[in-house]
């Protein structure tokens, strides 16, 4: 599910539709673009429907697995932001990534890792 979700971003990029707590893009536009990409990638695959179903499951967030994958996707984004900052690769502030991820990971099983990354970020 996680890989299928990431494949959807190939066609439209990893669109930022949120900046911290601000919504700046169309979720519907992102959804349509990713769905078209998934359909294009798997159109000749005998398991086409299974891949589309996995992608839809992630998008609708109706299962525990989909919710877990989304949380880990957010955590991965934060780890990447931390690594960019640590290596001075960020060309601008990445605070918006921290703000965005915090609202998803707060009060979840992954909040511990959020807190640990914040400590590492402060101590770098």
pLDDT at 105 over 80: yes
pLDDT digits (tens, 9 = 90+) for 47-100: 999 999 999 999 999 999 999 999 999 999 999 999 999 999 988 899 988 998
Higher-confidence residue: 75 or 9? 75
Helix (H) or strand (E) holding 111: helix 111-122
3 state SS of 63: coil
pLDDT at 101 over 90: yes
pLDDT at 14 over 70: no
Q: Mean pLDDT, to the nearest integer, of 110-122?
A: 97
What sign has the CA pseudo-torsion 87, 123, 95, 70? positive
Quote the tokens at residue 62.
Answer: 């109706």
Distant-in-sequence, close-in-space partners of 104: CB < 8 Å, separation ≥ 6: 70, 71, 74
How confident is the model at residue 18, as a pLDDT? 58
The 8-class DSSP code of residue 14 comes to: S
Distant-in-sequence, close-in-space partners of 48: CB < 8 Å, separation ≥ 6: 42
Residue pointed to by tokens 């909040």: 111
The 8-class DSSP code of residue 25 comes to: S
pLDDT digits (tens, 9 = 90+) for 15-53: 555 555 555 567 788 888 889 999 999 999 999 999 999
Quote the tokens at residue 60.
Answer: 């609708």
How confident is the model at residue 30, as a pLDDT? 81
Per-domain residue ranges for the chain? 1-60, 63-124
Give the number of other CB atoms < 10 A from CB of residue 97.
22
């Amino acid at each position: 599910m996680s890989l299928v979700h990431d494949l959807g971003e190939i066609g439209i990029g990893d669109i930022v539709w949120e900046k911290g707590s601000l919504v700046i893009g169309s979720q519907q536009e992102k959804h349509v673009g990713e769905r078209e990409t998934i359909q294009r990638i798997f159109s000749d695959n005998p398991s086409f429907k299974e891949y589309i179903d996995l992608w839809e499951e992630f998008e609708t967030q109706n299962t525990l697995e989909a919710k877990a994958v989304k949380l880990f996707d957010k955590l991965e984004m934060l780890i990447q932001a931390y690594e960019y900052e640590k290596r001075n690769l960020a060309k601008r502030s990445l605070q918006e990534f921290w703000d965005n991820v915090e609202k998803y990971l707060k009060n979840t099983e992954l909040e511990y890792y959020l807190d640990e990354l914040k400590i590492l970020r402060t101590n770098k």
